[in-house]
Structure 1
Amino acid sequence: MEPANSIREQLTQFIDKNSMTLSRFSEVSGINTGTISRILHGNRPISVSQLIAISSGMGVAADHFFADYVEECFAYSVSMRRIRPFILRSAELNRLDCIEQILYRLLDDLDYATELFEMAEQLFEQNQRSAAALLYKSVSEVEKYQHSERLAMCQYRLFLIGQGENLEENLRLAILFEPYVDRLDEGYQLEAFKDLIHAFGSVNKWSEVKNFADKMLQLAKIQYNTINISERQNQEWKLTVRPLYFYILYAWLIQSTVFEEQGDYDKALELVGLYASGQSWVREDDDESRRVLKQFEEWATANKYLYQMLSGDINVVKKYANYITQYPDEIFLALRYIIQAANKFNWNIDDILERFSDYIPLRTYKTEFGQYNSSMMDQNYAKLLGELAIYYLNHNRDVAISRILEGLNFSIQKNNDLNFIKYVMAFLEKSFSSENFEDKEKLKLLINEMQRINA
């Protein structure tokens, strides 16, 4: 193929217009005079570094010639030595249009799948997610009939890249990815199960969450029980995103959460004992393992109080409140459950609401142990506002209306239809006069049903 001439023509015109010698342009661009001559005569392709140098010498933007350079990548011969740095630089300068053009030219050619996947992984690690997504999609397209582990990894990365604030969109992407999870390397499978748990859990798909947690537990136990007798011990650890014991403990934590959401607090309490027991069986003894075990022990203590409280034990409410004061980033979540229990058992918790009034706004997604999934935190905040509005309604407080409106606004922003309906119904209940006893009782039943569905 003949080389693209646009870049060379514009460079020639620039040199002529400015009455420059090749030596002078060599000085301003940093390119060897002989190299410039060979480029201008079309005797050699232009490298990406030379393209940037030419742009600098001409005083134009670094990506000025990028659209023209797409043709240069395929001139003389198809060269990944030119294509690879060009894709990486295009990602850096957000020239996704140029990446799309390159990928279109390479479409359906399996020979380039490996290099494109490696570039996608590099971009993913560098947080160039939009550019990485283009490459993952391209590799997925050429390998769609291969049923390969690489195809599964592409789908996993696309699922992660697509996660955002819209819970339903997150779920849609999770459903698309789910058929591929079993094809992933076992180390990535465990982390993928955790990510799927977040996506399905944020929209209350608890049967699916339980299924993923069960699979995570089974796989993590098998790996953990065999790793110490395997000759490939070090390799296995490198393939696991987190320590294997973490996934065992986390699976138990999620299983207890599912039973909690189903209202089976006895089974939830049984599982609390399991993820609190790490000290008795985890073989590792380093800073990371001590940190992880401490966090699960703290969660176990808090959840023991929580499940006793949700079972109707009013005596643990203050114990629970006192315990969570040690963990300011956890107070917001704990308040949601305290208010929920108060509504269920008709308790007065004015003193606790006053004590923790500064923590009711959603301030952070972070904890000492890491960062919560933002979608799940948004869901919890919507639930807290709903429970708080109902609490104030039940206790005839004027502030109920403002809480309802706040909840409505937040639910609309987060596309949370169930909470939207709950707040509307709570607002209608407040609007009924005391004479409308029958209608008001019907509406209360509907509100209780919405609470059950959205719990």
Structure 2
Amino acid sequence: MEANLTTIRSEIERHLSRSGHNLASFAKVSGLNRGSLSAILHANPPKPISLGQLDALTRAFGYPEGWLYPLYIEECFHENKISRRRTEPFLIRCAEMGKTQCVEETLNRILEYPKPLELVFAVAEKLFAQGEIQESVIFYTTVTENEPDSYSERLAISQYRIFESLQAVVDMEEKLRAVITFEPFRSRLPENLALDGLLKLANVSFTLYKWKEVEKYADELRALANGIYREEVSKRRNGRRSESRELMKPLVLYYGQSYLLKAVALTKQGNYEEAKKYTAGYADLSWFELLDEQGRVEVDKFRLFAEANSYTLELLLGNTGILSSYADFLGAHPGEILPGLVTIIESANRYGYSVDGILLRFSREMLRFERFQDPINVDRRFRLNYQLAIYLLDKEQYDRGVDYALLCMGMSISMNNGKGLIQCITLFELNRRYASAKQRDEYHELIKEVRLFEKNAVDHDRRFGIF
């Protein structure tokens, strides 16, 4: 004899019987209309249940929200069709509640029907717009794995959203994979997202030390921003109505960042004089038309960035005469202290001068650098600590220098920064004879951590990324 099939209605009937209520009394308790409740349970065919009705029934029975969600999946597919009116809110709610199994089962069912990706993509976009970034990824991934048209805008946007969801990642290998996956789709995005995509590609490439790629994306960003700017200015001057592009940020930000990123990439490659030309390109953007209040704020920021980066270029060229004024500039602009100190210590190491006074001046601020956890500032902290290790070891302050080398080594492991790890190990080994027994023990533990990481990485097809 076949076992009775448990359905959402059989469960409701069973608990209704146990509660001692009839339809009339339970309708009052649940807040549902008696006729609607009767149609849901007894009509032939039964009336489909809305998600709101299901949640009301659940509350009335005293169960937690989502109690009957696994059984509700069938309600999403009525008369051999997908009910978008029920499926969309159901998937969104399941994603918000972390009911991954319900999401996966529903998605698998949806994919059995014709043209399923319109619904899946719509759910993803709604979750993303609500700030449910990680919750949206499973839906975007479903689109990328099932989209038949490799040139579709929907596919490009889905790849971009997945790339966006990884912006807080500090693992360098994971960031590299994200760039490789998204890069081919950057030119297939709508202009407003293409601007943002290129900016993010350049920023991630910056944290990967891939300066040629930073240059490439900066050039593409500048060309796109320039094209949009000329078109918008032409329309305004000719009195033509301009359709809103709904840019993610002010256009001047993308324009200025294209010059800034180009200048930074050139600086990192030692092309200082060329970098000066691009620094001048964003130093004064007050001529930029189409500026609103937010745009004017960005213009002021770029003026500040240009001043800071001009100091950087002079120091890297060996002009130590500006050191005092640069320190005063950093004191007046605390947000620039971390990147500024990286430059100062690097310059001191390159040209062999002392910056003990500056380190003392900003010692309190340096204690607070740990609060910076975004990928770009994590990278800056790593580079500052590495330069400090070299600086202190060169000054024969071996105990502190080795401590900084070990700190960098730990950071490189957590960042999955293979190149940085090699640099730190090399630095320690060159100064091993100056390390205390405690420091050598700490180094040994870090090496064991690397081995453990590698063992776990083998199981997950990962390695340290060597750039």
TM-score (norm: length of structure 1)? 0.88
Aligned to 1:224: 229
Aligned to 1:61: 64
**Cα offset for 1:427?**
1.8
AA of the residue aligned to 1:219: L
Classify the secondary structure of the residue corresponding to 1:44: coil
- Whole-angstrom CA distance in 1 between matches of 2:208 and 2:267: 15
- Whole-angstrom CA distance in 1 between matches of 2:174 and 2:136: 19
Task: Structure 2: give runs of 5+ residues left out of the alignment.
Answer: 435-465
Q: Which is worse superposed, 397-406 or 329-338?
A: 397-406
AA of the residue aligned to 1:205: K
Aligned length in residues: 423
Structure 1 79/170 Cα, relative in aligned 2: closer, same or farther at 3 Å? same
AA of the residue aligned to 1:295: K
Classify the secondary structure of the residue corresponding to 1:122: helix
The correspondence for 1:256, drawn from 263, 267, 287, is 263
Matches within 5 A, 1:292-441: 292-361=298-367, 362-365=369-372, 374-397=374-397, 398-432=399-433
Aligned to 2:145: 141
- Whole-angstrom CA distance in 2 between matches of 1:271 and 1:52: 59
TM-score (norm: length of structure 2)? 0.86
Q: After superposition, what is the alpha-carbon deviation per residue over 1:294-319, rounded to whole angstroms, capped at 9, x for unaligned?
A: 10001111111110110001101111
**Cα offset for 1:211?**
0.6
- Whole-angstrom CA distance in 1 between matches of 2:69 and 2:273: 63
**Cα offset for 1:28?**
1.6
1:181 aligns with 2:194: no
AA of the residue aligned to 2:339: L
1:267 aligns with 2:274: yes
**Cα offset for 1:129?**
2.2
**Cα offset for 1:127?**
1.9
- Whole-angstrom CA distance in 2 between matches of 1:102 and 1:341: 58
Q: Which is worse superposed, 389-398 or 40-49?
A: 40-49
Percent identity of paired positions between Structure 1 and Structure 2: 31
AA of the residue aligned to 2:184: P
Q: Is the 8 A contact 1:110 1:143 kept in 2?
A: no
Aligned to 2:452: none
Aligned to 1:130: 134
Classify the secondary structure of the residue corresponding to 2:14: helix
- Whole-angstrom CA distance in 1 between matches of 2:275 and 2:112: 51
Structure 1 134/17 Cα, relative in aligned 2: closer, same or farther at 3 Å? same
1:73 aligns with 2:76: yes
**Cα offset for 1:233?**
5.3
Q: After superposition, what is the alpha-carbon deviation per residue over 1:37-72, rounded to whole angstroms, capped at 9, x for unaligned?
A: 121125211111111111111111110111111112
- Whole-angstrom CA distance in 2 between matches of 1:312 and 1:109: 67
**Cα offset for 1:109?**
4.4
Q: Is the 8 A contact 2:252 2:291 kept in 1?
A: no
Aligned to 1:449: none
- Whole-angstrom CA distance in 2 between matches of 1:415 and 1:140: 27
The correspondence for 1:172, drawn from 157, 177, 180, is 177
Structure 1 197/144 Cα, relative in aligned 2: closer, same or farther at 3 Å? farther
Q: Is the 8 A contact 2:170 2:415 kept in 1?
A: yes
Q: After superposition, what is the alpha-carbon deviation per residue over 1:336-365, rounded to whole angstroms, capped at 9, x for unaligned?
A: 110000000001111011111122242444
Aligned to 1:439: none
Structure 1 193/110 Cα, relative in aligned 2: closer, same or farther at 3 Å? farther
Q: Is the 8 A contact 1:306 1:337 kept in 2?
A: yes
